[in-house]
Amino acid sequence: MATGLVIAQRALAGQEPPTNLDLLKEAVEEAVLAATDKLFETEVPESTTVIVASGAEHKANWLVEDVLLHDLVGRGLRVRRSGKTAALDTASLELSFRIIDISVGYPSQARRWGLGRVWVQREVATNLTFELVDLSSGQVKWIQDAEASRTDWFRHSRLSAVESKAHPFTRASFEKRSWARYLEPVIVSGVIGGLVYIFYSHR
């Protein structure tokens, strides 16, 4: 029921589906916000300069870093990227992040009532971990995991539009279904309709 409602609403509104990168950014923003809300429950002096660094190589590091920097600046902290020198301050804390998972999947395809356009179910997910270290002592002061996901449907004809060739992590593969699977609901509906007709015609 919910699947049909989502498909119908989007079709009637004539809306273009958000790209995979758009949905991944939303999920990353949700995960980062959940983590930094926890971070600010601890004492982080406003005068402190925080270095933001990635804990491991990942093609989506730039996305998480941009979201994290924007969030911390918005909270009033002085921040800078790892490897950047600052002449007027000395950073005392390093906030590092690691991408455990950031992915796109197409778990299923469907036609409404077995006819019409093919719709693709889309799931995006992100799982991040954060660590705050006191640079003067090397002490780990805070660790936090955060995850978020999104699920929706889009028309199969828009597949190339929602993915990005420039960012491989926004692409996914899905099982190609045979036409027999698409025709099966139609055949079943026809059989049931025929049985109903025969039943009422012989009453």
Q: What is the CATH number of the domain that holds 113?
A: 3.40.50
Mean per-residue pLDDT, 51-61: 94
pLDDT above 70 coverage of the chain, percent: 70
In a domain, 67, yes or no: yes
Whether the Cβ atoms of residue 68 and residue 99 lie closer than 8 Å to each other: no
In a domain, 112, yes or no: yes
* 93-120 pLDDT tens trace: 999 999 999 999 999 888 766 667 889 9
SS3 category, 108: coil
What does DSSP assign to residue 17? P
pLDDT value of residue 80: 87
* 145-183 pLDDT tens trace: 999 999 999 999 999 999 998 999 999 886 555 444 444
What does DSSP assign to residue 170? G
In a domain, 180, yes or no: no
Domain hosting 52: range is 2-175
Q: Answer whether residue 184 shows pLDDT above 60.
A: no
In a domain, 199, yes or no: no
In a domain, 188, yes or no: no
In a domain, 190, yes or no: no
In a domain, 203, yes or no: no
91 against 122, higher pLDDT: 122
Q: Answer whether residue 126 shows pLDDT above 50.
A: yes
Total domains, the chain: 1
In a domain, 189, yes or no: no
